[in-house]
Amino acid sequence: MTRRERGPLRPPWAGPLGLYHPGTTVVHRLPAGAKLAGLALAGVAVLLLDGPRSAVGALVVAVGVLLVARVPLHRTTRGLLPVTVLALVLGLYQTWSRGWEVGVEVAAELLALVVLGTVVTATTRSDALLDVLARVTRPLRHVGLHPETAALAVGLFLRTIPVLAQSSLDVRAAARARGLDRDPRALVVPAAVRMVAHARATGDALAARGLADD
Amino acid sequence: MIELDDVVVTAWSPDPAGGADRVVRLLGPVTLRLAERRIAVVGANGSGKSTLARLLNGLVLPSSGTVRVDGLDTATDGAAVRQRVGFVFTDPNAQIVLPTPLEDVALSLRRRFPDKVERLEAARAALRRFGLGERADVSVHALSGGQRQLLAIAAVLAVEPAVLVCDEPTTLLDLRWRRVVDDLLADLDQQVVVVTHDLDAARRADRVLVVDDGLVVYDGDPHEAVAHYEALMGQAGVP
């Protein structure tokens, strides 16, 4: 019997969002506000530009920025794999229904934006993102939304993604251990309960640290 | 000084027979003055000790009675109380909010240090103090359970509270990390109130409260209190 080498285990979540990678590249040194503004502009640009050529160009630029940022590829490639699969499926569907030009455009635009989002979160500390978001949302104070609270919500979002991914894996492992891995109830119900419990625990933790008192 | 005056905590609970929800007493009545530097709270699961701990920084508010920390009422001065009383949970995963240790500690310091450079330096100093300086920028998922608990404690102590309340901080840790956390808590300048199942740690406290069925049934000398608790568990059929 041949033994399949799987290599060292990796953490269940290695990106694409929510994990800062320290560095001194020009992308790291850019102000967080500039990176967020750039990401927003890129989003608008891919919406406005039509055609597969511009979409592929955007993807090439995004990958170029990723390479300049020197984010370890093993982090991004594994984290981007599900998005790549999704982009391929979407692209194939669009090719079948509307032609190859639209298929390539949709897939490349989606990947380009996710790669750029990955670069922003991998090269910017959450703390710096919170500062920018708190500044940007300052006008919302007039309608009762505290800027620090809005910024913290985004920070929590970034932290919660890997927690939920880990929780889903734990639930699947528990179901498998009981021989219930094909029973959707054994997967969905405990995962939902865990997510609600995590939300409550996080709320308690924020309250205990006084972060909900602003 | 923490003062609890005739505190009762109640909650709505579903009726097992399917009737209307009913009110159950989780804790109290409890009247205490807590001034010792090291206080341990022991009791069986579900006895009310976590409810007691959560009262101390306003995470739980009394249904009747008052809880005061240095004269501040947890019901009316909650934000000020939480600046004075830090809280450490059993599971550090619930407490760590941001993706890396440095960012998480910096989050605690946002109010104290509006300047980002000063804030990050203070966060690094806090991490170095707890031996996590080298791990400041790694994912919190890459930390061991013990390191995560140290991080949770570091994030709370970074704002220098006067009192630290810990709800079973070593329950999920192995023996090595349990000793690290116990030693760390023992050396703090702060007043520390620890809910624990570790009776050896309880014996080292200045005062031990034994909680059973929502009441403080013994309060005093650590060795006598632990003996009382062991006798209580023996009566309950625990070997």
The CA distance from A97 to the nearest CA of chain B, in Å, is: 41
Domain chopping of chain B, boundaries: 2-91+160-235
Question: What does the mean pLDDT of chain A come to?
Answer: 80
Say yes or no to pLDDT of A132 above 80: yes
* B89, B155 contact by CB (below 8 A): no
pLDDT at A146: 76
Residues from chain A that touch B168, judged by Cβ atoms under 8 A, are none
Which helix or strand (DSSP H or E) is residue A91 part of?
helix A73-98
Residues 171-210 on A with a CB inside 8 Å of B are 198, 201-202, 204-210
pLDDT at A168: 80
Q: How far apart are CA B178 and CA B176, in angstroms?
A: 5
> Cα angle vertex A202, ends B213, B137, to 5°?
130
Report, as an integer, the average pLDDT of A157-182.
Answer: 76
pLDDT at B108: 86
Name the most confidently modeled range: A3-7, A143-147, A163-167, B223-227. Answer: B223-227
| Dihedral sign computed on CA atoms, order A140, A146, A147, A151 | negative
Q: Which residue has the higher pLDDT, A169 or B201?
A: B201
Say yes or no to pLDDT of A126 above 90: no
Res. B59 pLDDT band, cuts 50 70 90: confident
pLDDT at B114: 83
Say yes or no to pLDDT of B82 above 60: yes
Report, as an integer, the average pLDDT of A4-30.
Answer: 65
* A119, A27 contact by CB (below 8 A): yes
Say yes or no to pLDDT of A105 above 60: yes
Report, as an integer, the average pLDDT of A12-20.
Answer: 52
Say yes or no to pLDDT of B232 above 80: yes
Say yes or no to pLDDT of B75 above 60: yes
Report, as an integer, the average pLDDT of B92-106.
Answer: 84
pLDDT tens digits for range A50-68:
888 988 999 999 989 988 9
Which CATH architecture best describes the domain B2-91+160-235? 3-Layer(aba) Sandwich (3.40)
| Dihedral sign computed on CA atoms, order A68, A70, A73, A77 | negative
- In this structure, of A9-18, A49-58, A152-161, B128-137, the range with the lowest mean pLDDT score is A9-18
β-bridge partners, B40: B194, B208
Tell me if A209 and B87 make a contact (CB, 8 A cut-off).
Answer: yes
Res. A21 pLDDT band, cuts 50 70 90: confident
pLDDT tens digits for range B155-203:
999 888 999 999 988 888 888 888 888 888 888 999 999 999 999 989 9
pLDDT at B214: 92
Q: What strand order describes the sheet that includes B64-69?
A: B22-34, B2-13, B64-69, B72-73
Res. B69 pLDDT band, cuts 50 70 90: very high
Cis peptide before A8 (omega within 30 of 0): no
Report, as an integer, the average pLDDT of A34-55.
Answer: 88
Q: Which residue has the higher pLDDT, B13 or B152?
A: B152
Please compute Rg for chain A using Cα positions. 20
- In this structure, of A102-106, A175-179, B69-73, B132-136, the range with the lowest mean pLDDT score is A175-179
Report, as an integer, the average pLDDT of A114-122.
Answer: 86
**φ/ψ of residue B25, rounded to 5:** -90, 120
Report, as an integer, the average pLDDT of A190-212.
Answer: 81
Give the residue from A58, A71, A55, A81 showing the smallest Cα distance to A23.
A71
Res. B6 pLDDT band, cuts 50 70 90: very high
Q: How far apart are CA B55 and CA B78, in angstroms?
A: 11
Q: Token digits for B98?
A: 């941001």
Say yes or no to pLDDT of A172 above 70: yes
Tell me if B93 and A205 make a contact (CB, 8 A cut-off).
Answer: no
Amino acid at the residue B96? I
Q: How many CA atoms does the CB half-sphere of A48 hold within 13 Å?
A: 6
pLDDT at A15: 45
pTM of the predicted model as reported, rounded to 2 decimal places: 0.74
Rounded percentage of chain B residues whose pLDDT exceeds 70: 98
Tell me if A198 and B156 make a contact (CB, 8 A cut-off).
Answer: no
| Residues shown for chain B | 239
* A188, A171 contact by CB (below 8 A): no
The CA distance from A76 to the nearest CA of chain B, in Å, is: 14
The CA distance from B64 to the nearest CA of chain A, in Å, is: 21
Of B99, B107, B142, the CB nearest to A18: B99
Tell me if B86 and A156 make a contact (CB, 8 A cut-off).
Answer: no
Rounded percentage of chain A residues whose pLDDT exceeds 70: 86
Res. B103 pLDDT band, cuts 50 70 90: confident
| Dihedral sign computed on CA atoms, order A157, A160, A164, A165 | positive
The CA distance from B124 to the nearest CA of chain A, in Å, is: 13
CA distance to A54, B103, B185, per residue, from A16 (Å): 23, 18, 37
Give ipTM to 2 decimals.
0.72
Tell me if A127 and B106 make a contact (CB, 8 A cut-off).
Answer: yes
Q: What is A94-108 written as a DSSP string?
A: HHHHH-HHHHHHHHH
A8 contacts chain B (CB < 8 A): no
Res. B211 pLDDT band, cuts 50 70 90: very high
Tell me if A20 and B106 make a contact (CB, 8 A cut-off).
Answer: no
pLDDT tens digits for range B25-47:
899 799 999 999 999 999 998 89
Q: How far apart are CA A198 and CA A205, in angstroms?
A: 10
pLDDT tens digits for range B111-151:
888 888 898 999 999 999 888 889 888 888 788 888 999 99
Say yes or no to pLDDT of A14 above 50: no
A156 contacts chain B (CB < 8 A): yes
Phi-psi region of B67 (alpha: psi -120 to 50; beta: other; left: phi over 0): beta
> Cα angle vertex A84, ends A81, A90, to 5°?
145
Say yes or no to pLDDT of A92 above 60: yes
